[in-house]
Amino acid sequence: MSNAPEHKHFDVTPPGRLGRARSSWAGTALALWACVAANPATGEGSLGVAQGDDWAFSVSPYLWAAGIEGTTGTLPGLPAADVDMSFGDIFDDLRPSGMVFFNATKGRLGLAADLQYVETEAESTSLTPLFGRETLRSTSLVVSAIASCLVVDDGRMSLRLGGGARLWSVETDLKLSDGLLPGRRITSDETWVDPIIGASGVIDLGPQVFARGWAYVGGLGIASDITADIFVGLGYRFADRISTTLGYRWVKVDYEEDDFLYDVRQEGIATGITFDF
């Protein structure tokens, strides 16, 4: 049997799911509009709430040392392959991975974009003896757009509630080495959009030290069955407009469509720098 790659490509989210997604996003947009309209900004706190009609912006590039664990589809009729590259294995085969965050605030309104690019590679023997070893290389590009409303700002702590959409573009390259069956190589790619909702916040721990975090959940069967995103980190302000953050990010997604299965967790240390302007 030939070892030539098999290429699979599947359509984006089906029309029925798109209708439910539009309803979810419309509800989120309406709630945010009501929050901003009912709670106009009256000043500027120490955590970056823009005053009056002024916009405040920030950009934050991060490096993310992300491992991967979960299951991915193989061939029709065969079990899914288990993949596991723990955090301790990351530096043995470090691949380019990173994130960039963009934020804009005006009064209580916040607009944010999050761009992630992650490459990971993991091996397992979950399909023995059918195949000798599975090697999965996963490349994911994830773009998120979130609108939020500031609900707490007491000068020391801020909390935002919001929602939006997250676009996933995932490519998997699975190599199955010879076992009872001849070796195969399966290349698949899929693109989908999940609605997401959640919260983010910052709390000052000292004159220059702060903690930052967020938690988002989405999918809910509209595209993926579930997706979740959690980050916690400590930061240090070098100056009024420059700070750095070191933290840990955990991202989960469970998506299945036809023969494409991508049920994984990606997690690891993230460190970056923020420029405010």
DSSP per-residue codes, 195-216: EEEEEEEEEE-SSSEEEEEEEE
Max CA pair span of the chain: 71
More confident residue, 59 or 40: 59
Tokens found for residue 241: 């407009």
Q: Report d(CA 255, CA 170) in Å as an integer.
A: 11
Looking at per-residue pLDDT, the higher value among 89 and 130 belongs to: 130
Question: In this structure, how many other beta carbons lie within 10 angstroms of the beta carbon of residue 175?
Answer: 18
Distance CA 193, CA 195 (A): 7
Q: What SS3 state is found at 180?
A: coil
Q: How far apart (Å, rounded) are the C-alpha atoms in residues 129 and 131?
A: 5
pLDDT of residue 94: 53
Closest among 188, 252, 247, 219 to 64, alpha carbons compared: 247
pLDDT by residue (tens digit) across 10-33? 344 444 554 554 554 555 555 555
Assigned token pair, 73: 């589809």
Closest to 172 (Cα-Cα) out of 27, 41, 52, 9: 9
Pick 47 or 171 by higher pLDDT: 171
Q: Domains of the chain, with CATH numbers?
A: 6-276 (2.40.128.100)
Give the C-alpha separation, 121 to 7, whole Å. 19
User: What is d(CA 2, CA 228) in angstroms, rounded to the nearest whole number?
Assistant: 39
> CA geometry: angle at 187 spanning 113 and 250, to 5°?
35
- The residues near 77 (Cβ < 8 Å, ≥ 6 apart) are none
Q: How many C-beta atoms lie closer than 10 Å to residue 140's C-beta?
A: 22
Average the pLDDT over 63-78 and give the result: 74
Q: Mean of the pLDDT values across residues 203-227? A: 94
Give, as one character, the DSSP assignment of residue 45.
Answer: -
Q: What pLDDT score does 2 carry?
A: 41
Residue 19: phi, psi to the nearest 5? -65, -45
pTM (2 decimals)?
Answer: 0.77
**Which of 55-69, 158-172, 221-235 has the least mean pLDDT?**
55-69
**The pLDDT value given to residue 9:** 41
Q: How confident is the model at residue 76 (pLDDT cuts 50, 70, 90)?
A: low
pLDDT single digits (tens) 162-177? 999 999 999 888 787 8
